[in-house]
Structure 1
């Protein structure tokens, strides 16, 4: 399944294109992972081109299996139409007959604070509820660590109200927040 989602530009933000990861994303992915904040919040940081190639291949396999859908989020340059990688949104644990799945994301340092993550998470959430309605998907969860208030704002802006605090458990060292969005 090859899916491309488009989030229209606004007066202050560029169009977003969400698509499956490709081999030619490896260099941009490595550049983004140089950010210490992203590495600190990621369970499996990428250090080498081989790491990045394996990461892309794993997400390609997730699409093929139909259970894990990872989108590269790109901004479209309004002048030349080129695309720049700015984020990642992941829908995981999609299982027929199971009413819930999880959404995760990260944002490149240069794209933070501009609404990229909330617009992309909202687009993937709407897509998921439409695409997987027939198999019973009615609820999406977004989890983040308590010490990440930016993720709280992204969750709420993208339609995921706060539900509860989750106690720390491996592999996460700190308490977390659970946000939930239900299919309309």
Structure 2
């Protein structure tokens, strides 16, 4: 059922899916591009990494599953339900993953998620990729607010969020299930008008 609203949507339907998913670049960092078939081995290797497995309970374990995920990513863009990018070095070697999920066109809100492979950690890859996606989402795509949450035990992700200008807004108690039980989650957000953090 369609419900009438007293306000106009922040983003018009078709404003994303009307164009191909963009490749996002910055002067100082990696290239964010859609996932392709050749990325399957790197994608699977990520979900064998102990640190990534610690924070992500949904995992691809076979080539067939990875291909299904990539197709689901393509469909997410076409349905305007999400955007999923490979974080790469110059568009080739995969360094990690970053995504916009839970797109709410009415209120202009989306959620950001990411991981990076071991070789790309502690050198600014995640924070630069996050800043690049954030600038595109807030300035070009038209979102008003981007949210990012992570386990309160994930200090590395907290540093990435803070470095990329995502302000800490509070703690969501017992908000997510991990392999070792329920975790409290920190909520961070960037809104349009916050001081930009352009990489």
- Once the two structures are superposed, the pairs formed by residues 131-142 of structure 1 within 5 Å of their partners are 131-133=140-142, 137-142=143-148
The Cα shift of 1:170 comes to 4.6
State yes or no: 1:152 paired with 2:158.
yes
Counterpart of 2:70? 56
Q: What's the C-alpha RMSD, in Å, of the aligned pairs?
A: 1.5
Per-residue deviation at 1:49?
0.8
- Aligned equivalent of 2:121: 112
**In structure 2, distance between residues paired with 1:170 and 1:182:** 24
Report the secondary structure of 1:3's partner residue.
Answer: coil
Task: Please report how far the alpha carbon of residue 8 of structure 1 lies from its aligned counterpart in structure 2 after TM superposition.
Answer: 2.1
Post-superposition Cα deviations, 1:72-112, rounded to whole Å, max 9, x if no partner, equal 01013xxxxx7210011111122222132111111111111
Aligned residue number for residue 49 of structure 2: 35
Structure 1 segments (4+ residues) deviating >4 Å: none
Pick from 3, 23, 29 the counterpart of residue 4 of structure 1: 23
What TM-score does the superposition give when structure 1 sets the normalisation length?
0.87
Map 1:1-184 onto structure 2 (within 5 A): 1-9=20-28, 15-76=29-90, 83-133=92-142, 137-172=143-178, 173-184=182-193
CA-CA distance at 1:132 after TM superposition = 3.1
Which structure's residues are more often helix, by fraction? Answer: 1
Unaligned runs of 5+ in 2: 1-19, 194-199
Instruction: Give 1:115 deviation, angstroms.
Output: 0.5
Question: Any conservation in 1 of the 2:21–2:83 contact (CA below 8 Å)?
Answer: no
What TM-score do the two structures reach when normalised by structure 2?
Answer: 0.81
Tell me, in whole angstroms, the C-alpha distance in 2 between the residues paired with 1:179 and 1:143.
6
Match of 1:12 in 2: none
Relative contact order, CA 8 A, sep 6+: which one is greater?
A: 2
